[in-house]
Amino acid sequence: MSKLVQGYEVVIGFETHAQLSTQSKIFSRASTAFGAEPNTQACAVDLALPGTLPVMNVGAVERAIEFGLAVNAHIAERSVFARKNYFYPDLPKGYQISQFEIPVVQGGEVSFFLEEGKETVRKTVRLVRAHLEEDAGKSLHEDFVGQSGIDLNRAGTPLLEIVTEPDMRSSDEAVAYAKELHKIVTWIGICDGNMQEGSFRCDANVSVRKPGAELGTRREIKNLNSFKFMQQAIDYEVRWQIEQIEDGHAIEQATVLFDPETGETRAMRTKEDAADYRYFPDPDLPPLCVARDWVERVKSDMAELPRVMAERFVTQYKLPEYDATTLTQSKAMAAYFETAAQVCEQPKLASNWVMGEVSRRLNTSDSGFDSIAVSATQLGALIVRIHDNTISNNAAKDVFDALWNNHAPASTDKATALQQVDAVIDAKGLKQMNDSGALEAIIDEVLAANPDNVAQYRAGKDKAFNALVGQAMKASKGKANPAQVNEMLKKKLS
């Protein structure tokens, strides 16, 4: 079910440029490191000096193969580099080498979960292709008065351009897709994912239509370099397009930029300006041949993919699909969960804790799963104590807090971690009341002190029962086991 905006269906497709994490450029040996002095990382090939020729960086191809495997795509046995011809000062050869008709990665899909109202739904975005190409340099229009500077350090940096079908129906879906894609490329390590430095740049093609109508004319929002701006830009663009149509104007195909200052998109160029790029196969580069055994070799060297790991979590730990996908947001999170689950042997409890309390704490602090104050082993130990009824789930949160704020080193050894957890439980007196005699005394007192509630319960009001449970818990200072209280109260009142 797609969500309509003022009666219009939103249609979004993405083109993402992921900068590949190779040491050297896609067709030369110059370094790709970010932030060097202008033009210090551009060699003769990058400067397009007469007589220079491109030579393929095998590492870039390998990363494209890894990506293809990660999204279940077809890896083309033969793909072709073409020249995209246009003049611009930061494009030294006067053409960009890019895969055009036959890309190396064909098809594939990206799946993710997102909240729709109260439901969590799984969404799959189909990929059209992912192709290798070189980046251009940078024009510096503001650094020199009356002149433009050219920095060719970025020229020839390897990019993987990942193109989707127009499968997204809201800005929420678009952002969720972008985050999932970001997760995949950083998980498999083909891209550092740094959006500020331009390592992961998204262009969104946005159009609107009445449900069931033909696709509307799209406008492409260029260079969205944060998830926040992405959402704002798409929302603004959708509102703008609907307004235009409602006012009787046709949408003109255009490329637009989002201005974070004003929160608006504005057109850079329209279709009339569209250049004829005179694509043709680059005669300097033979077709890229990727033999099956190369793909197999890359596959066997790759770490477990998030998708595969999530499937394993479902079968091995009997987790719901949602949990498995959430826990595989990052390698560090997944590893944290697995350690905790193995220590406590209660995967679902461990999953609840990692997705709940632990993520909440991390969100409000500066740390991540790889620098977390409470070790996964400690969390496992804590869950052991919940499961064996030593402490209640609520009390466990206090223990977690104490461990979080404790500056002593977090143990990664199960026995030591249990000792650390037990020490906190003892120090705080959080041990659950498992002595049925003491509990019975408390319950008797509560029943005696609340005759009204007892009467109401007997008259069929369930709410009164809950009030009695609450009183009993309160009287036990939270140490009573709620299940035990329930059971005992029911018995006494029957």
Partner 1 sequence: MTHSTKELHLQSVSELASTLHNKKASAVEVAQHFLQRIQADKMGAFLDVNADATLAQAQASDARLAVGTGGCLEGVPIAHKDVFVTRDFITTAGSKMLANYRSPFDATVVQKLASGVNGQSGAGMVTLGKLNCDEFAMGSGNENSAFHPVRNPWDASRVPGGSSGGSAAAVAARLTPAATGTDTGGSIRQPASFCGITGIKPTYGRASRYGMIAYASSLDQAGPMARSAEDCALLLSAMCGPDLDRDSTSLDVATENFSAKLTQSVKGLRIGIPKEFFGDGLASDVRSAIVAALKTLESQGAQLVPISLPRTELSIPVYYIIAPAEASSNLSRFDGVKFGHRAKDYTDLVSMYKQTRAEGFGEEVKRRIMTGAYVLSHGYYDAYYLQAQKIRRMIAEDFQQAFTQCDVIAGPVAPSVAWTLGHNASDPLADYLADIFTLPASLAGLPGMSIPVGFGDAHMPVGMQLIGNYLQEATLLNVAHQFQLATDFHMQSPQGGAAL
Q: Does 324 bind partner 1 (CB under 8 A)?
A: no
Distance in Å, CB of 57 to partner 1, minimum: 11
Residues 190-209 that bind partner 1 (CB under 8 A): none
Residues 259-288 that bind partner 1 (CB under 8 A): 276, 278-280, 283-286
| CB-facing half-sphere around the CA of 212: CA atoms within 13 A | 1
55/455 with CB nearer partner 1: 55
Residues 16-35 that bind partner 1 (CB under 8 A): none
Residues 392-421 that bind partner 1 (CB under 8 A): none
- Phi, psi of 143, rounded to the nearest 5 degrees: -85, -15
Q: Does 53 bind partner 1 (CB under 8 A)?
A: yes
Distance in Å, CB of 157 to partner 1, minimum: 18
Other Cβ atoms less than 10 A from the Cβ of 204: the count is 29
| CB-facing half-sphere around the CA of 217: CA atoms within 13 A | 13
90/311 with CB nearer partner 1: 90
Residue type at 261 in one-letter notation? E
Q: Does 439 bind partner 1 (CB under 8 A)?
A: no
Closest CA to 199 of 189, 208, 207, 209: 189
Distance in Å, CB of 76 to partner 1, minimum: 18
99/339 with CB nearer partner 1: 99
138/312 with CB nearer partner 1: 138
Distance in Å, CB of 55 to partner 1, minimum: 5
List the beta bridge partners of residue 84: 96
Distance CA 249, CA 229 (A): 26
Distance in Å, CB of 373 to partner 1, minimum: 50
Distance in Å, CB of 95 to partner 1, minimum: 5
From 86-94, 238-246, 316-324, 483-491, span contacting partner 1 (CB under 8 A): 86-94
Distance in Å, CB of 274 to partner 1, minimum: 10
Q: Does 373 bind partner 1 (CB under 8 A)?
A: no
- Specify the residue for token string 């189909």: 126
50/212 with CB nearer partner 1: 50
Q: Does 142 bind partner 1 (CB under 8 A)?
A: no
Distance in Å, CB of 116 to partner 1, minimum: 42
Q: Does 49 bind partner 1 (CB under 8 A)?
A: yes
Closest CA to 81 of 63, 64, 58, 99: 99
Q: Which of 51, 248, 437, 460 binds partner 1 (CB under 8 A)?
A: 51
Other Cβ atoms less than 10 A from the Cβ of 371: the count is 10
Q: Which of 13, 68, 92, 103 binds partner 1 (CB under 8 A)?
A: 92
Distance in Å, CB of 28 to partner 1, minimum: 10
The answer for residues whose C-beta is within 8 angstroms of residue 267's C-beta and 6 or more apart is 219, 254, 255, 256
47/163 with CB nearer partner 1: 47
Q: Does 93 bind partner 1 (CB under 8 A)?
A: yes
User: Is the C-alpha dihedral spanning 26, 61, 167, 323 positive or negative?
Assistant: negative
The token duo for 36 is: 């060097």
Q: Does 356 bind partner 1 (CB under 8 A)?
A: no
**CB burial string 318-334: b at 16+ within 10 A, e below:** ebeebbbbbbbbbbebb
Distance in Å, CB of 105 to partner 1, minimum: 21
17/93 with CB nearer partner 1: 93
Closest CA to 57 of 30, 25, 95: 25
Q: Which of 56, 114, 447, 469 binds partner 1 (CB under 8 A)?
A: 56
Distance in Å, CB of 56 to partner 1, minimum: 7
Site string (146-165) toward partner 1, x via CB under 8 A? ----x---------------
Distance in Å, CB of 86 to partner 1, minimum: 9
Distance in Å, CB of 357 to partner 1, minimum: 55
CB 484 within 8 A of CB 445: no
Residue type at 373 in one-letter notation? A
97/418 with CB nearer partner 1: 97
From 54-62, 297-305, 332-340, 395-403, span contacting partner 1 (CB under 8 A): 54-62
261/276 with CB nearer partner 1: 276
89/356 with CB nearer partner 1: 89
Distance CA 222, CA 226 (A): 12
Distance CA 70, CA 185 (A): 9
Interaction site with partner 1 (CB under 8 A): 44, 47-56, 83, 85, 87, 89, 92-95, 150, 276, 278-280, 283-286
